Amino acid sequence: MTSVNTLHPELAVPGALMAAEVAEQPAVWQRLLDEGRAQFAAAAARIRDYDPRFVLFVARGTSDHAALYAKYLTEIVHGLPAGLVSPSTMTAYGTRPNLGGTLMIGVSQSGGSPDLVRSLQVAREQGALTVAVTNSAGSPLAEAAELDLDVLAGPERAVAATKSYTAQLLALYLLSDHVAGGDGSAAEVLPALGRALLEHDGAVAELAQRYRFASRMVTTARGYSYPTAREAALKLMETSYLSAQAFSGADLLHGPLAMIDPQVPVLAVVGEGIGGQAMQQVLPRLAEQGADVFCVGTPQAVRGASAGVALPSGVAEALSPILEILPFQQLARHLALARGGNPDAPRGLRKVTETR
Amino acid sequence: MTSVNTLHPELAVPGALMAAEVAEQPAVWQRLLDEGRAQFAAAAARIRDYDPRFVLFVARGTSDHAALYAKYLTEIVHGLPAGLVSPSTMTAYGTRPNLGGTLMIGVSQSGGSPDLVRSLQVAREQGALTVAVTNSAGSPLAEAAELDLDVLAGPERAVAATKSYTAQLLALYLLSDHVAGGDGSAAEVLPALGRALLEHDGAVAELAQRYRFASRMVTTARGYSYPTAREAALKLMETSYLSAQAFSGADLLHGPLAMIDPQVPVLAVVGEGIGGQAMQQVLPRLAEQGADVFCVGTPQAVRGASAGVALPSGVAEALSPILEILPFQQLARHLALARGGNPDAPRGLRKVTETR
């Protein structure tokens, strides 16, 4: 008798694929910084020439969290109003909006979901400048867009997206920075900081034991870090089958706070930037509810929490989401394993999801 | 010894405030239809004159779900791109976007949250046409906007918003219809249909027993009904302290499906419009996961579910969210009572939430 899958030996160790792809992220970022710059400079030139009045994003799942991050960049760095498109309005409802002056960016790992492809096709017909950000050059989404950007993460085999997510974040940052006239050099610190942060993997594995029997979690953050809270919740749902809900710290106070008690752990991102400072209004309310708080943030915030992982200091707030998600990816994997699951093969999921 | 609160006799019966406000909704809608039309005609004339290129919404909590509904109206009926603003970008981050050609609509029951007020003030300074939709004429948000619309729901005393939500939906529908050149007359069927739908209260009370011991729920819908799924989840969290998570039917297939099993009831909205039809891709996947489905929708969809409430037929899809939420409001109240809570006084919440 053998338990080794000889066709796919990596599947013999549950979570091995996800572990490898989580660990690979600093190298992926380095590749994007070394080899990917030219595409951002070229796309940025076209975008500056088009001079958009509004920016729309279309994405689903993990990629939607990268799009949400880019929405913050658009609003804060570029001072442009931005929105996340509901794909169904252009597919199921057949809307044909006037999109002159609009930049529409589709974000997708596979570039294959028909509703996203259709949304970009319609947007292009309706006058938008269209950009595809994918991990799959030549995919239908890349073909549908006028400009296509490759996040160069390499083939992603784990169902739970990890390296493609941070590569999307970095690609969107680099695009934004080039449009703003920069060269993306502030991001060059990331690979080394990412490698150092990933060294906490053993500590995160121990912390994961704390949540072995939790059935519900809440994740929360504000500003640039809010997409981190969303993505952390999705990773936990996908791999550990927890109910994990993400709220902006402000929205949490508008209702969902009621469901938080000592049995519902809260995962909070409290960095040193403006978003982290805005969380200072939220933390005392969580304490009043008796919440157990797992904090990824400043050393001070981690000391005030029940558990957590400290982030490096001195990183530009706009870049911090690329680092912040790493401990949550590790937590999701270790928690799935602790609960007897296989984070590489979540029940009910396929790697490429096709929605219409 | 007496258990009657003589200062606030209605608090003697847990959930009495919420029950009264849920039941009051058809009368609220009738008042808005009878007395509120002139304000929509006047605001619509100003909006047509301004001729917006882009529409932004700013709101939090329940009001954010009304804003999401209006985003669908904007995209589908008016063919205009639309977005939900992250208030922190204009408050915490101090962004000053160029908002010429932009219509910005703030939605709030109380009209009192400082971050929303500040967002509308900034938007107005930056060239946007600003509209406040509140249940509180003379509130700071109404004062901050160029145009203010009163949803005329009357004082709302239960912490869990119900009548102000459907009044917001109806007000946003009436504004949209007037901008499109209509007179809102399609909405005149709503009060009678709402009264008939509310008569299922006893049946919903029985159905609530089914979920007495559930700790997690998922709500799902697509298109116009997606805000219903979001609001249903919030009501359940606020009153019954469940973890209730809302997903668009499409997003559900992109990851969260993994956490659904026979122990996680799914509340689905499956109406007869395009959004309901798009859910036909989702229901078989839920069945594969062994999900228990509570359906608010067509009689056929309810028959195929584990439990549910049938909606009246022949209602325009754009109006259906105003009706669909009623059974979920009833379910939230009955479930809170069944679980020993008081839906009028959720732990940790205040009626007016001030976030910055």
Spatial CB neighbours of A104, under 8 Å, sequence gap ≥ 6: A55, A56, A57, A58, A85, A119, A120, A123, A124, A128, A129, A130, A131
Cβ distance of A97 and B115 shorter than 8 Å: no
The model carries a pTM of 0.91
Q: Residue A137 in contact with residue A143, Cβ under 8 Å?
A: no
Spatial CB neighbours of A340, under 8 Å, sequence gap ≥ 6: none
Spatial CB neighbours of B287, under 8 Å, sequence gap ≥ 6: none
pLDDT higher than 60, residue B348: yes
Count of residues making up chain B? 356
**Rounded Cα–Cα distance for residues B230 and B219 (Å):** 7
Cβ distance of A288 and B348 shorter than 8 Å: yes
Q: Which of A86, A90, A165 to mutate to test the interface with B (most CBs of B within 10 A)?
A: A86
Report chain B residues whose CB lies below 8 A from the CB of A59: none
Report chain A residues whose CB lies below 8 A from the CB of B101: 53
pLDDT higher than 70, residue B133: yes
- Per-residue confidence (pLDDT) for residue B62, from 0 to 100: 94
Q: Residue B260 in contact with residue B308, Cβ under 8 Å?
A: no
B281: nearest CB among A160, A222, A356: A356
Q: What is the mean pLDDT of residues B327-350?
A: 88
Cβ distance of A226 and B281 shorter than 8 Å: no
Cβ distance of B355 and A281 shorter than 8 Å: yes
- Per-residue confidence (pLDDT) for residue A4, from 0 to 100: 42
The kind and range of the H/E element at B44 are helix B37-50
Q: Which of B91, B225, B243 to mutate to test the interface with A (most CBs of A within 10 A)?
A: B243
Q: Which of A85, A95, A254, A270 to mutate to test the interface with B (most CBs of B within 10 A)?
A: A254
Q: Which residue of chain A comes nearest to B79, CA vs CA?
A: A97
Cβ distance of A348 and B102 shorter than 8 Å: no
A82: nearest CB among B83, B234, B347: B83
**Rounded Cα–Cα distance for residues B222 and B268 (Å):** 9
- Per-residue confidence (pLDDT) for residue B95, from 0 to 100: 87
pLDDT higher than 90, residue B10: no
- Per-residue confidence (pLDDT) for residue A354, from 0 to 100: 66
SS3 A274: helix
Q: Burial level of A349, CB count in 10 A (0-12/13-18/19+)?
A: middle
**Rounded Cα–Cα distance for residues A246 and A252 (Å):** 9
Report chain B residues whose CB lies below 8 A from the CB of A108: none
Q: What are phi and psi of B299, to 5 degrees?
A: -55, -40
Q: Which residue has the higher pLDDT, A9 or B329?
A: B329
**Rounded Cα–Cα distance for residues A76 and B121 (Å):** 17
Q: Which residue of chain A comes nearest to B63, CA vs CA?
A: A254
The minimum CA-CA distance between A62 and chain B, rounded to whole Å, is: 8
Cβ distance of B60 and A251 shorter than 8 Å: yes
- Per-residue confidence (pLDDT) for residue B355, from 0 to 100: 67
- Per-residue confidence (pLDDT) for residue B3, from 0 to 100: 41
- Which of these, A195, A215, A259, lies nearest to A26 by C-alpha position? A195
Q: Residue A327 in contact with residue A200, Cβ under 8 Å?
A: yes
- Per-residue confidence (pLDDT) for residue A252, from 0 to 100: 86
pLDDT band of residue B92 (cuts 50, 70, 90) is confident
Q: Which residue of chain B comes nearest to A279, CA vs CA?
A: B356
Instruction: Work out the widest C-alpha separation in chain B, in whole angstroms.
Output: 65
- Per-residue confidence (pLDDT) for residue A11, from 0 to 100: 54
Report chain B residues whose CB lies below 8 A from the CB of A340: none
pLDDT higher than 90, residue B229: yes
The minimum CA-CA distance between B324 and chain A, rounded to whole Å, is: 19
Q: Which of A69, A130, A243 to mutate to test the interface with B (most CBs of B within 10 A)?
A: A243
Six-digit token string for A300:
């001070």
The minimum CA-CA distance between B199 and chain A, rounded to whole Å, is: 27
Cβ distance of B60 and A93 shorter than 8 Å: no
Cβ distance of B255 and A285 shorter than 8 Å: no
The kind and range of the H/E element at A224 are none
- Per-residue confidence (pLDDT) for residue A267, from 0 to 100: 96
Q: Which residues of chain A have pLDDT under 70?
A: 1-12, 348-356
- Which of these, A126, A152, A124, lies nearest to A32 by C-alpha position? A152
A97: nearest CB among B80, B242, B251: B80
pLDDT higher than 90, residue B238: no
Q: What is the mean pLDDT of residues B228-256?
A: 88
The minimum CA-CA distance between A241 and chain B, rounded to whole Å, is: 4
**Rounded Cα–Cα distance for residues B135 and B110 (Å):** 6
Cβ distance of A254 and B80 shorter than 8 Å: no
- Which of these, B277, B231, B271, B272, lies nearest to B250 by C-alpha position? B277
% pLDDT > 90, chain B: 75
User: pLDDT digit string (tens) for B264-296?
Assistant: 899 999 999 999 999 988 988 998 889 999 999
- Per-residue confidence (pLDDT) for residue B263, from 0 to 100: 86
The minimum CA-CA distance between B90 and chain A, rounded to whole Å, is: 8
pLDDT band of residue B2 (cuts 50, 70, 90) is very low
Six-digit token string for B341:
């809570």
- Which of these, A231, A228, A232, lies nearest to A273 by C-alpha position? A228
- Per-residue confidence (pLDDT) for residue B131, from 0 to 100: 98
- Which of these, A184, A162, A186, A224, lies nearest to A43 by C-alpha position? A184
Cβ distance of B250 and A355 shorter than 8 Å: yes
Per DSSP bridges, beta strands A102-108 and A129-134 are parallel
Q: Which residue of chain B comes nearest to A221, CA vs CA?
A: B88
Q: Which residue has the higher pLDDT, B57 or B263?
A: B57
CA distances from A210 to A203, A293, B231 (A): 12, 11, 32
Cβ distance of A76 and B89 shorter than 8 Å: yes
The minimum CA-CA distance between B299 and chain A, rounded to whole Å, is: 22
- Per-residue confidence (pLDDT) for residue A253, from 0 to 100: 83
**Rounded Cα–Cα distance for residues B168 and B163 (Å):** 9
